[in-house]
A = this chain, B = another copy of it.
Amino acid sequence: MLLTAPGGPQDAAPGTPGSVRPGGRTARTREAVRAATLAELADKGFAGLTVEGVAARSGVHKTTLYRRWGTPAALAADALDVASAEPWPVPDTGSLRADLRAVARQVVAGFTDPGSGPVARSLTAAALHDPDAGRALHAYLAARHAQAAVIVNRAADRGDVPAGTDGTDVVRCAVAPLYYRLFVTGEAVDEALADRYADAAATAAAAGVFAPEAD
C-alpha cells in the first residue's frame, strides 16, 4: 500500500503540450532521480540520504538536483508525491472484513518485504521528522485513505454497515495499530495482526461505531 517499485510506467508520461522533448527529458530526469532516491534510502536510510549520493547514483548533475529539489527531504517528498499518483487496485472481495484484511496485509507487506520494506520505513521515518516530507506523506495517505474508503461505501450499499459510516476513519482504524507498532512502540507486525486489526475495524463499523448516530 505504501509504495510500488520504483520506475513504473506511470512516470513515462510526456511533458506539457508544446514542449514534448523538454517535458520528456524532465520526466526522465525526475524518474531517474526518484529511482536513485529510493535506492539510496534502501541502502542508507533517511539519515544517509544526500544530494551528492543521489547525483552519483542517478547520473543527474548535482547542480540540477540542488536547483530543482534542494534538500534530501525534498527528494524524499518528491518520491512520495509520485507514489500518491500511482494506481492502486482497491480490494473488492464482496466482504468488508476480507477487503480490510487485504488492505492491512498490504501495509504489513509494504513495510516487511525485503525489497520495499527498508524504503517504505525510511520514507515514513523521514516524514515523521521533516515538515516537507511530512506534508508529502500526509497527502499520500489522504489519497490512499480516500481510495480505500470505497470499500466501506460498498459495504454500506450492501447494508453491512450503517448508512453514513465514516469510511475513511474505518480504514484508519484498520491500519493505525500497524503503524503504531512499527513506528511508535517499535513492535513487530505480521499477517495475523493485520487480520485482527481489520476484523476489529469491520466489527466496530458493523456495530455502527463509525456512523453519525454513534457520536
A residues adjacent to B (C-beta < 8 A)? 124-125, 127-129, 134-135, 137-138, 141-142, 145, 169, 172-173, 175-177, 179-181, 183-187, 192, 195-197, 199-201, 203-204, 207, 209-210, 214-215
The answer to whether A128 touches B204 (Cβ under 8 A) is: no
**Which B residues are CB-close (under 8 A) to A124?**
184
Minimum CB–CB distance for A13 against chain B, Å: 28
Q: How far is the CA of A177 from the CA of B203 in the complex (A)?
A: 16
Q: Are A180 and B186 closer than 8 Å at their CB atoms? A: no
Residue of B nearest to A126 (CB): B129
Listed by A's residue number, 28 A-B pairs whose Cβ atoms lie within 8 Å are: A128-B129, A128-B183, A128-B184, A129-B129, A134-B186, A135-B186, A137-B185, A142-B185, A145-B185, A169-B177, A169-B196, A173-B177, A173-B197, A175-B180, A176-B179, A176-B184, A179-B184, A183-B184, A196-B210, A196-B214, A199-B204, A200-B200, A200-B204, A200-B209, A201-B204, A203-B204, A203-B207, A204-B204
Question: Please, which residues of chain B bring their CB within 8 A of the CB of A169?
Answer: 177, 196
Residues in chain B near residue A145, CB distance under 8 A:
185
Q: Do A172 and B181 touch (CB < 8 A)?
A: yes
Q: A78 → chain B, closest Cβ, in Å?
A: 18
Residue with the greatest number of chain B CB neighbours at <10 A, chosen from A175, A185, A197: A185
